[in-house]
Amino acid sequence: MAGKSSSNLILGLCILIFAAVLLGVWIPADVQTGLIEKVRRQVTVGDALAPTVAGLFLLLSGVLLVTVERQAEGQPRLDLRNLGFTAGMVALIFVSLIVMRWSGPLAVGIVNVLGDGDLEYRLLRDTAPWKFLGYFVGGTLMISGCVAMVEGRIRLRAVLVSALAVLTMIAIYDLPFDDLILPPNGDV
Amino acid sequence: MGTLDYVWMGIQAVFQGPELFSIFGVSISVTLIMILGGFLTGIAVGATPGLAGPIAMAIALPILISVFGYTPDALLPVMGFLIGVMKGATIGGAVPAILFNTPGTPDAYMTTLDGYPMTKRGKAAKALRVAHFSSASGDTFSDIVLIVCAPFLALLVEAYLDLPEKTALLILSLSFIAAAIGGSPAKGLLSTGLGLLIAFVGTGEDFYPRLSLGSPMLNQGFPIATSVLGVLIIGAVFKEMETLWRQRQSRDIASDIRIEGDQRLHWADIRRLLPYVGRSAVIGTAIGALPGIGSTLAATLGYTVGRSRHARTKTEGRPDFGEGAPEGIAATEAANSSVSGANLIPVLSLGIPGNAAAVFLILAAESIGGFNPGPSVFRFTADTVNPELVIAFGLFTAMMIANLLNWTIGGVFMRSMGVMVRIPKHILLPAVLLLTLTAIYVQETRMEAIWFALGFGVLGYFMRVLAISPLPFVIAFILGGNLEESARQAFAATGGDPWFLFTSPIAALFMLASVGVIVFTARKTKERS
């Protein structure tokens, strides 16, 4: 990771651009009061002051990275393969969360089609086993998918261990507490 | 109400709190059991490579709040558990470091240098005993310093610092944390600036939620759990998974540990170790009292100081540091353990969290309510009871109980935890990821919170890849609101004086120090490069 790298310079330039946009565009356009406000003849601190201080921290950081720490030793070198792996993992988690969100409603829909019923997931989300369905399927996919990515292969044992881990989490969070709501049942 | 009355009430709050059960008519309070549970959990977590105290605290917090509710009665059981985890994880980290050359926590890395060679020589049990004795000694010393210093520091702050000085002190703390963590002031400032910026999204005094981009999702800002757990825990999980994927090999773990000869820790051993333990305890406590500087630096400094002493005083035939010297384990473990108590000095006396464990204690206090860590806690009111001060002395009592547990059952439990290293990290980490996301959801009960946390996890990952410490981000996020509020009040109190940070000598000195610490560390960095 360490070695001759210009990552500090690139990072510094990116931060300088971001700080300039923040201070020059975002704060003026997206904050309604200025740095200092006069309300009923009283001078008060406006909403823009605090984000401006944050922007100045970023600006100073960018200046230091580009000037003082430009040649610093041991700068990290970005490895595109590693970044690719992490991007894949984030994508997997994204898909798992989508599956978690929609497994329950989908299962209810399938039951409705097969049994000619009129069930609604929203009304079943506090009833077992419906309330566990999304969390179990999405959670198992998330854990076993991450394991498979690290191992470079899909193993039945890993899937079973993942399913067991999710069941344990259900037992920890849901069974003893009436007021804890597992995802995604709080806002479906 | 005198000082001793408050101390006694704090002790009573722990021992005579809500009863869980009774043995032979003796009531056992729920706080005592929570401290014990947290302590044992902490040892197990610390002994598991890939886990750490803050992860256990993050996962446990929503469950504990759900069990105990949002009443002041919940403060001591919940915070007692978290304190137990913090202390247990400190000694637990030494177990895999000594037995398997794998540090359970980052600050136990130096323990591997002498611990593992002792294991290879058949002295594993003795090495664990040395680690436990040194760790418990350092921890106890640090707690005593905390109990003595925190109230005095808080009283000094209340007596001498007005609103402008308190604002300047917060700026100095952020500046110091930015400069001190990670060895790069520029990256520390970047982390701090991002934390402040995120804290200010969706907040403010105007009707329009600032920096929300007109999005309803950002109207209420980012929940504290999503940003803290996202950057600290999920970001760490991503980085660890990437490292595992890169290695893609399971490390061989020795299946049999050879035990040979006398494994006990004799009085002669203790006498030989004490100078190392004493020096490292002072170093660790001094470092721990400064916000943001972690136990890893304390361990490194303690080890370095110990090594130079050992080189001067070592007798013929005894191993050098790095070759299995018990003094090396003692120097490291006393230093990294003595950070934990002292780290609570800035939390309790100033309201400024110094490390990740302190962040979770503040999160617990904020979630439950009724206790706001800061100088106002230590108001020794004579005519009425200050409930926050009772809680503070209750926390000190909880820390001493955890120390007592450490001295009595800690060693035995610690030595049985070698099995934890066999838990496969690449299965454990995704499970931790799901547990963390679940912990966030049960607090916020909306999928948006999970998306935010995932986004902050990606941010935390990139911070680690680019060698930017996430701790200044988290501390700045937590302090951002206080900083703005304090500045608003100070500005109003000085009649709208734009130079309010420079008109009083103390505030001006703090501001000068804020700039000075950045300039000094930047110059050091430039000299190094």
Is B457 within the bounds of a domain? yes
pLDDT reported for residue B513: 96
Q: Which positions ≥6 away from B10 have C-beta within 8 Å?
A: B389, B390, B391, B392, B393, B394, B395, B396, B397
Q: Kindly tell me if the per-residue pLDDT of B252 is higher than 60.
A: no
Is A165 within the bounds of a domain? yes
Alpha-carbon distance of B508 to B420, in angstroms, equals 52
Same domain, A87 and A168: yes
Residue of A nearest to B238 (CA): A86
Residues 235-254 of B with CB under 8 A from A: 238, 241-242, 244-246, 248
Is A168 within the bounds of a domain? yes
Is B254 within the bounds of a domain? no
- What is the amino acid identity at position B252? D
Is A74 within the bounds of a domain? no
Parallel, antiparallel or unpaired: strands A42-45 and B19-23:
unpaired
Please check whether residue B478 is in contact with residue B468, taking contact to mean a CB–CB distance below 8 angstroms: no
Q: Which residues pair with B23 in a beta bridge?
A: B26
pLDDT reported for residue B349: 87
Per-residue b/e over B52-85, b at no fewer than 16 CB within 10 Å? bbbbbbbbbbbbbbbbbeeebbbbbbbbbbbbbb
Alpha-carbon distance of B78 to A99, in angstroms, equals 34
Give me the sign of the Cα torsion angle B223, B227, B230, B232. negative
When pLDDT is averaged across residues A34-57 and rounded to a whole number, the result is 90
Alpha-carbon distance of B323 to B334, in angstroms, equals 19
User: Confidence band (pLDDT; 50, 70, 90) for B292?
Assistant: low
Cis bond upstream, residue A176 (ω within 30): no
pLDDT reported for residue B37: 96
Higher pLDDT, B360 or B51: B360
Q: Which positions ≥6 away from B130 have C-beta within 8 Å?
A: B265, B269, B273, B326, B329, B330, B333
Please check whether residue B192 is in contact with residue B472, taking contact to mean a CB–CB distance below 8 angstroms: yes
Backbone phi and psi for residue B19, each to the nearest 5 degrees, phi listed first: -80, 135
Determine the distance from the C-alpha atom of residue B378 to the mean position of all C-alpha atoms in its chain, rounded to a whole number.
Answer: 21
Nearest to A147 among B62, B430, B445 (CB): B430
Q: Which positions ≥6 away from B159 have C-beta within 8 Å?
A: none
Q: Please write the tens of the pLDDT for every residue from B316-336.
A: 888 889 888 999 999 999 998
pLDDT reported for residue B257: 65
Please check whether residue A33 is in contact with residue A48, taking contact to mean a CB–CB distance below 8 angstroms: yes
Residues 466-525 of B with CB under 8 A from A: 466-467, 480, 483-484, 487-488, 491-492, 496, 498, 518, 522-523, 525
User: Confidence band (pLDDT; 50, 70, 90) for B6?
Assistant: very high
Is A19 within the bounds of a domain? yes
Closest-CA distance, B321 to chain A, in angstroms, reads 27
User: Confidence band (pLDDT; 50, 70, 90) for B399?
Assistant: very high
Please check whether residue B393 is in contact with residue B255, taking contact to mean a CB–CB distance below 8 angstroms: no
When pLDDT is averaged across residues B174-196 and rounded to a whole number, the result is 91
User: Confidence band (pLDDT; 50, 70, 90) for B254?
Assistant: low
**Which helix H or strand E contains B26, and what residues bound it?**
strand B26-29
When pLDDT is averaged across residues B274-303 and rounded to a whole number, the result is 87
Same domain, A86 and A165: yes
Same domain, A97 and A164: yes
Residue tagged 């005095």 (tokens): B152
Alpha-carbon distance of A55 to A22, in angstroms, equals 7
Of A21-25, B101-105, B151-155, B447-451, give the lowest mean pLDDT range. Answer: B101-105
Alpha-carbon distance of A148 to A159, in angstroms, equals 9
pLDDT reported for residue A2: 44
Q: Which positions ≥6 away from B232 have C-beta within 8 Å?
A: B54, B58, B356, B359, B460, B470, B471, B474
Please check whether residue A158 is in contact with residue A92, taking contact to mean a CB–CB distance below 8 angstroms: no
Q: Please write the tens of the pLDDT for every residue from B122-155.
A: 888 999 999 999 999 999 999 999 999 999 898 8
Q: Kindly tell me if the per-residue pLDDT of A48 is higher than 60.
A: yes
pLDDT reported for residue A82: 80
Report the domain count for chain B: 1
Closest-CA distance, B214 to chain A, in angstroms, reads 8
Is A98 within the bounds of a domain? yes
pLDDT reported for residue B250: 47
Q: Please write the tens of the pLDDT for every residue from B432-491.
A: 999 999 999 988 889 999 999 999 999 999 999 999 999 899 999 999 999 999 999 999
Q: Kindly tell me if the per-residue pLDDT of A22 is higher than 60.
A: yes
Residues of B within 8 A of A22 (CB-CB) are 197
Same domain, A56 and A85: no
Q: Please write the tens of the pLDDT for every residue from A151-175.
A: 989 999 999 999 999 999 999 888 8
Q: Kindly tell me if the per-residue pLDDT of B1 is higher than 80.
A: no
Which of A30, A66, A131, A156 to probe the B interface (max B CBs under 10 A)?
A30
Is A150 within the bounds of a domain? yes
When pLDDT is averaged across residues A18-27 and rounded to a whole number, the result is 97
Backbone phi and psi for residue B22, each to the nearest 5 degrees, phi listed first: -130, 150
Residue tagged 């610092």 (tokens): B161
Of A3-17, A43-57, B193-207, B477-491, give the lowest mean pLDDT range. Answer: A3-17
* Residue B406, helix vs strand vs coil: helix
- What is the amino acid identity at position B136? A
Nearest 5°: CA angle at B232, between B227 and B233? 105
When pLDDT is averaged across residues B1-25 and rounded to a whole number, the result is 88
User: Confidence band (pLDDT; 50, 70, 90) for B419?
Assistant: confident
Other C-beta atoms closer than 10 Å to the C-beta of A168 total 12
**Which helix H or strand E contains B27, and what residues bound it?**
strand B26-29
pLDDT reported for residue B189: 96
Q: Kindly tell me if the per-residue pLDDT of A4 is higher than 70.
A: no
pLDDT reported for residue B485: 93
Same domain, A126 and A151: yes
Is A181 within the bounds of a domain? no
When pLDDT is averaged across residues B415-424 and rounded to a whole number, the result is 84
- Quote the DSSP letter at residue B214: T
User: Confidence band (pLDDT; 50, 70, 90) for A63?
Assistant: very high
Residues 117-146 of A with CB under 8 A from B: 135, 139, 142-143, 145-146
- Quote the DSSP letter at residue A41: T
Please check whether residue B396 is in contact with residue B197, taking contact to mean a CB–CB distance below 8 angstroms: no
Of B257-266, B297-306, B514-523, give the lowest mean pLDDT range. Answer: B257-266
Q: Which residues pair with B19 in a beta bridge?
A: B29
Backbone phi and psi for residue B27, each to the nearest 5 degrees, phi listed first: -75, 130
Higher pLDDT, B100 or A12: A12
Domain that holds residue A20: 7-66
Give me the sign of the Cα torsion angle A29, B480, B298, B49. negative
Q: Which positions ≥6 away from A176 have C-beta within 8 Å?
A: none
Alpha-carbon distance of B393 to B395, in angstroms, equals 5
pLDDT reported for residue B158: 86
Same domain, A95 and A167: yes
Residue of A nearest to B241 (CA): A150
Report the domain count for chain A: 2
Alpha-carbon distance of B130 to B448, in angstroms, equals 48
pLDDT reported for residue B343: 87
Q: Kindly tell me if the per-residue pLDDT of A55 is higher than 60.
A: yes
Q: Which residues pair with A43 in a beta bridge?
A: A38
ipTM: 0.94
When pLDDT is averaged across residues A16-29 and rounded to a whole number, the result is 97
Closest-CA distance, A152 to chain B, in angstroms, reads 8
Please provide the average confidence, as pLDDT, over all residues in chain B: 89
For a pLDDT cut of 70, what percent of chain B falls above it? 97
Same domain, A160 and A132: yes
Residues of A within 8 A of B187 (CB-CB) are 61, 65, 69
Q: Which residues pair with B259 in a beta bridge?
A: B123
Nearest to A30 among B194, B211, B426 (CB): B211
Same domain, A108 and A130: yes
Our separate counts of H helices and E strands in chain B read 22, 2
- Quote the DSSP letter at residue A153: S
Highest mean pLDDT among A68-82, B189-203, B315-329: B189-203
Among A25, A44, A66, give the residue marking a domain's end: A66
Determine the distance from the C-alpha atom of residue B69 to the mean position of all C-alpha atoms in its chain, rounded to a whole number.
Answer: 24
Is B257 within the bounds of a domain? no
Reduced 3-state DSSP string for B102-148: CCCCHHHHHHHHHHHHHHHCCEHHHHHHHHHHHHHHHHHHHHHHHHH
The torsion of the CA quartet A131, A133, A135, A139, rounded to 10 degrees, works out to 170
Closest CA to B240 of B441, B426, B494: B426
Q: Which positions ≥6 away from B38 have C-beta within 8 Å?
A: B60, B80, B81, B82, B83, B84, B85, B88, B402
Same domain, A162 and A91: yes
Alpha-carbon distance of B362 to A169, in angstroms, equals 26
Token code pair at residue B102:
């794998």
Helices B425-444/A130-151 angle, 10° precision: 150
Please check whether residue B276 is in contact with residue B330, taking contact to mean a CB–CB distance below 8 angstroms: yes
Cis bond upstream, residue A184 (ω within 30): yes
Alpha-carbon distance of B272 to B395, in angstroms, equals 33
Token code pair at residue A153:
């292969």
Query: What's the residue count for chain A?
Result: 188
Is A72 within the bounds of a domain? no
The torsion of the CA quartet A161, B435, B191, B497, rounded to 10 degrees, works out to 180
Question: Is A78's CB within 8 Å of B189's CB?
Answer: no
- Quote the DSSP letter at residue B259: B
pLDDT reported for residue B101: 84
Closest-CA distance, A30 to chain B, in angstroms, reads 5
Q: Please write the tens of the pLDDT for every residue from B65-94.
A: 888 988 888 999 999 999 999 999 988 988
Domain that holds residue B202: 3-249+263-528
Q: Kindly tell me if the per-residue pLDDT of A3 is higher than 70.
A: no
